Structure 1
Amino acid sequence: MTESAIAPPAASVPVTQVIDGCEFRGVSLHVFLFTLLTLVFDGFDIQAVGFVAPALLGEWGITRAELSPVLAAALVGMAAGAMFIGRLGDSWGRRTALIVSMMVVAAGALLSAYARTPGELALFRFITGLGLGGSLPNATSLMVEFAPLVVRNLLVTSTIVGVPIGGMVGAEVAAHLLPTFGWRSVFMAGALLPLLLALAMWLWMPESPRYLARHAKRSGELAQLLNRLSHTDRYHAHDTFVIAEQALDKRREGLGALFAPGYRADTLLLWMSFLASIFGVYALFNWLPTVLSGVGLPMPIALRCALVVNLGGVLGAFVMASGMNRIGSRKVLLAFSVMGALLAITLATFQRALFDPSDLTALLIIMAGIGAAILGVQTGLYSVSAHAYPTSARATGVGAALGVGRLGGILSAFAGALVSTPGGGVAPFFGGIAAVVVVMAVSIGTFGRHIPPVPRQARHSERARAGVS
């Protein structure tokens, strides 16, 4: 008897509903771990130059100004990678694009270990940035397309916070490697880890089910994946797999798809939101210790404030994810933006009262709050950008928003230098951040395709099916 004679009748399978009804374990948990590790290793490589900068200055006999192009090169590469390698996920698949991104990161880091001049290192850091820029939009898209609805925002947020976690891990690794093996060993580690991860993803990580649903020739692969996710054998290669979402005009490809009718305004508003958000984030990351030490705070205290900003950002990211589930992304993003603007204005206005080294309680609380607000909005925007576009343009949309946003990070490096002059106080710095956050709030408030709240009844029923207490 032939296989066709015993096969059950073909069925129409709503892929998204199947995923939303699955428990978060097994395959989906493995995919989460792969995407988390991707961004942890990204965080390591993003900050690698910062870890080795003092050693570079000493060995090469260069000034900080001469090292600036090296610091900026990775950001430029990340902007280009997000725009171009990021979109490969929509044509090649998320899995393939992530593997390629990790291999590019590994190649750039390995070349960096053998750099002989600042110019060579800047070039190799640009290559590393290409891979870093391509990995984040595809990791975000992959997690969005695997995660059940009830835990989707939480999982995307948990993935994104892998970047600061990677920075902390990298700092610890560098502290052990630098004294014994020198600065080149840090880049060696930054090459080995992504290379091993790329190999593991090639062997064990599946492709996105929503991506597979767009390619009829891969229906057998999709059927097997859905059976693994649902722990059943009900799906078959001859089924019709559908995803319920609006399709973009097939005549538009790549970046042009983001400007299709009905998407143009939201694309521009999303780009403005990312530009302002990443400007604020990198201004804090790159200039906060310098600004605080410039008004008389000892460097250990300035660094503690920077640490508190990061910790506040991690906490804010998870509060943001929970809030989006309950009240939708528009309200919670606006609330965080307003809080960030008010706290920045407070820091700009009350310098004498807040920046007294003898009592830093209020300052540390405000620093945690501004980190929660600005970094929390940043992580929330990743979920919003992935939600805003259909499967056919999701990685392209997220990558383009990130690419434009990276320009904000580059601009903040120069703007921060202008407003952090010795004796200038904190008002220009935090006043500038407040202004940027206001622009971000207006863009977010005007944006149309926000994530709606999950109905309460659905949250409880889907939470039970997903195995979340």
Structure 2
Amino acid sequence: MSLTSSDTPSTTSAPAASPGLAAALDRIGFGRVQVVVIALLMAGLFFDSLEQNSTGAMGPLLKDAFGIGNAELTLINTVTVIGGLVGRLVGGYLADRWGRRTALSLNLLVYTLGGLISAAAVDYEMLLASRFVVGVGLGGEFTVGLAILAELVATRHRGSLLATLNISSGGIGNIASFGFFALVLGPLGGVLGGDDTSWRWTYVILAVPAVLVVYFRRYLPESPRFLLSKGRIDEANLSLTRLGSGSIAGLRHPGATVRYVTEADIPRKTKSSYAEVFKGRNLRRVAAVGAASWMSFGAQVTLLFLMPILLVSRGYSLTDSLAFTMIMNIGSLFGACAACYLAGRAPRRVTVMAAAVLGCVSAIAFALFANSTLLLLTLGMIFQFFTMLLNTMLSVWSPELFPTSVRAMGASVVNGIGNVAGAVMPFPALFFFDIAGVPGVFAMIAAMYALLVIAARFGPETFGKPLEVVSGETAAASA
């Protein structure tokens, strides 16, 4: 039996017992429908993680195929990240103007197109252009996903469920990605045509399944907060009714629409534009949490991109380096799981600052003591644990900072700042690698984490607070 994505409201029941959108979501709680919503979001983020790691994993093959060096390979990563920044900004705008669901579907379709062009690239310039397109498609995936999930769930569940998204992306995704690349570029490489063509088929394999995700995402309920901010009361109530149906079948036949919210719950009208993100309180929040994202995401992308290259420089084969990187990323999975636990129980600011301090210590330990395979893997896993704990907590924090009218755009800016860091920081990392080897790279990352502690100190605390309280939104009737 197929589902339907129709948002056409049916009959309306008596008013709910407790008015207000936040109260309605608190009563709905967490059930099977919310599990489906999270699964649909996690699926897209899983492919995001694989694509993010693809250039580093296939680096040696791309260098041979196109006759390029480390600088040109790094530029591929940079162009992808810049495309991601464009995608985040465009996706955030579309999400806040036309709806979260629309933006999510467009993201993956653009990503699929770019991946297929990458597979057919005949020269380095075509590959660069295709990776930019891939970046655009992937850019808004994570931030728009964060925005819609933050708006669909109860306050008490929000932190843990937002962190769950990074279990798929940064945790399972990072482990599976390097395992996937080790498999298709190793044992299956011959079946895929050897080193000359296996990387092309890898891009195809990554692109095609995303179409299935787009198909099933038509079942996602639109954010009731977005609909309410646009004055679309009936559609907001239908979305809440679908969320509160308690069964997957309820997404298709939710029954009579429950009147969870009324005109009195419409928030005060605010402008939906990027200019609003850079005004007053919003600007202060962008500066603080954006600076923290620069340090955290920049460190993560640098290591994910350079780790196979760093290991090959130490004499390990490409297959071994990919396998070792996969093992290190077991720490990422545990870090994302730890963030999922802490996000529902601990303040954002304290958790981020503590994780940054411990991440700094673990980076220094890696630089000083990772001299054997055992220590390399152990210290690498510890470092990745704190890296993913940090990134996950920052991803939970970012959509909580802004009002509904600019939530996706604000989260896109904060995470986009991290995107820029991902494009820029591999270059100084290569510089430090050339003059000091692997220890030089980790010394740079340790310094970044020290600066992260300072930046996070100025971010607002959002733990346990309804989004409307954090953003200062009030209903029009009570304004």
The corresponding residue for 2:298 is 279
The corresponding residue for 1:148 is 154
After superposition, the CA RMSD in angstroms is 3.1
Alignment partner of 1:213 out of 225, 228, 231: 228
Q: Is the 8 A contact 1:150 1:325 kept in 2?
A: yes
Q: 1:54 to 1:17 in 2, by over 3 A?
A: same
Alignment partner of 1:320 out of 334, 339, 343: 339
Q: Deviations over 1:368-409 (max 9, x none)?
A: 222111221111101100111121111101111121111111
The corresponding residue for 1:452 is 463
Q: 1:114 to 1:435 in 2, by over 3 A?
A: same
Shift of 1:10: 9.3
Q: Is the 8 A contact 2:160 2:343 kept in 1?
A: no
SS of alignment partner, residue 24 of structure 1: coil
The corresponding residue for 2:249 is none
The corresponding residue for 1:375 is 388
- The one-letter amino acid of 1:184's match is R
The corresponding residue for 1:463 is none
For 2:106 and 2:90, how far apart are their aligned partners in 1?
A: 12
Alignment partner of 1:174 out of 173, 184, 190: 184
> Quick check: 1:236 aligned with 2:259?
yes
For 1:162 and 1:270, how far apart are their aligned partners in 2?
A: 23
For 1:209 and 1:255, how far apart are their aligned partners in 2?
A: 22
Task: Give the alignment of 1:51-90 within 5 angstroms.
Answer: 51-90=57-96
Q: Is the 8 A contact 1:12 1:241 kept in 2?
A: no
The corresponding residue for 1:159 is 165
> Quick check: 1:190 aligned with 2:216?
no
Q: 1:96 to 1:275 in 2, by over 3 A?
A: same
Shift of 1:82: 1.2
Q: 1:226 to 1:409 in 2, by over 3 A?
A: same
For 1:79 and 1:19, how far apart are their aligned partners in 2?
A: 32
- The one-letter amino acid of 2:90's match is F
Q: Is the 8 A contact 2:56 2:306 kept in 1?
A: no
- The one-letter amino acid of 2:241's match is N
Task: Give the alignment of 1:23-62 within 5 angstroms.
Answer: 23-62=29-68
- The one-letter amino acid of 1:92's match is W
Q: 1:326 to 1:237 in 2, by over 3 A?
A: closer
SS of alignment partner, residue 349 of structure 2: helix
Q: 1:56 to 1:5 in 2, by over 3 A?
A: closer
SS of alignment partner, residue 208 of structure 2: helix
Q: Deviations over 1:134-160 (max 9, x none)?
A: 111111111111223333222222212
The corresponding residue for 1:412 is 425
For 2:71 and 2:221, how far apart are their aligned partners in 1?
A: 45
Q: Is the 8 A contact 2:55 2:305 kept in 1?
A: no
The corresponding residue for 1:439 is 451
> Quick check: 1:133 aligned with 2:139?
yes
Q: 1:279 to 1:5 in 2, by over 3 A?
A: closer
For 1:59 and 1:42, how far apart are their aligned partners in 2?
A: 24
- The one-letter amino acid of 2:345's match is R
Task: Give the alignment of 1:5-20 within 5 angstroms.
Answer: 8=14, 13-20=19-26
For 2:332 and 2:11, how far apart are their aligned partners in 1?
A: 58
SS of alignment partner, residue 235 of structure 1: strand
- The one-letter amino acid of 1:190's match is L
For 1:172 and 1:288, how far apart are their aligned partners in 2?
A: 14
Most deviating of 13-22 and 433-442: 13-22
Shift of 1:53: 4.0
Shift of 1:7: 6.6
> Quick check: 1:333 aligned with 2:344?
no
For 1:254 and 1:5, how far apart are their aligned partners in 2?
A: 34
Shift of 1:452: 2.2
For 2:102 and 2:204, how far apart are their aligned partners in 1?
A: 24
Shift of 1:293: 5.8
> Quick check: 1:224 aligned with 2:247?
no
- The one-letter amino acid of 1:171's match is F
For 1:144 and 1:305, how far apart are their aligned partners in 2?
A: 35
Shift of 1:211: 1.0
Q: 1:301 to 1:340 in 2, by over 3 A?
A: farther
The corresponding residue for 2:102 is 96
Q: How many residues align?
A: 438
- The one-letter amino acid of 2:263's match is T
Q: Is the 8 A contact 1:32 1:159 kept in 2?
A: yes
For 1:240 and 1:172, how far apart are their aligned partners in 2?
A: 55
Name stretches of at least 5 consecutive residues in structure 2 with no aligned partner: 1-9, 246-254, 467-479
The corresponding residue for 1:386 is 399
Shift of 1:234: 6.7
Q: Is the 8 A contact 1:314 1:376 kept in 2?
A: no
Q: Is the 8 A contact 2:221 2:243 kept in 1?
A: no
Q: 1:227 to 1:364 in 2, by over 3 A?
A: same
TM-score, L = length of structure 1: 0.84
Name stretches of at least 5 consecutive residues in structure 1 with no aligned partner: 456-469
Q: Is the 8 A contact 2:22 2:155 kept in 1?
A: no
For 2:262 and 2:41, how far apart are their aligned partners in 1?
A: 29
- The one-letter amino acid of 2:428's match is A
- The one-letter amino acid of 2:52's match is I
The corresponding residue for 1:270 is 289
Q: 1:327 to 1:61 in 2, by over 3 A?
A: closer
Q: Deviations over 1:188-221 (max 9, x none)?
A: 223321222212223x22211211111223x222
- The one-letter amino acid of 2:441's match is F
- The one-letter amino acid of 2:299's match is G
Q: Is the 8 A contact 1:86 1:133 kept in 2?
A: no
The corresponding residue for 1:116 is 122
For 2:413 and 2:222, how far apart are their aligned partners in 1?
A: 22
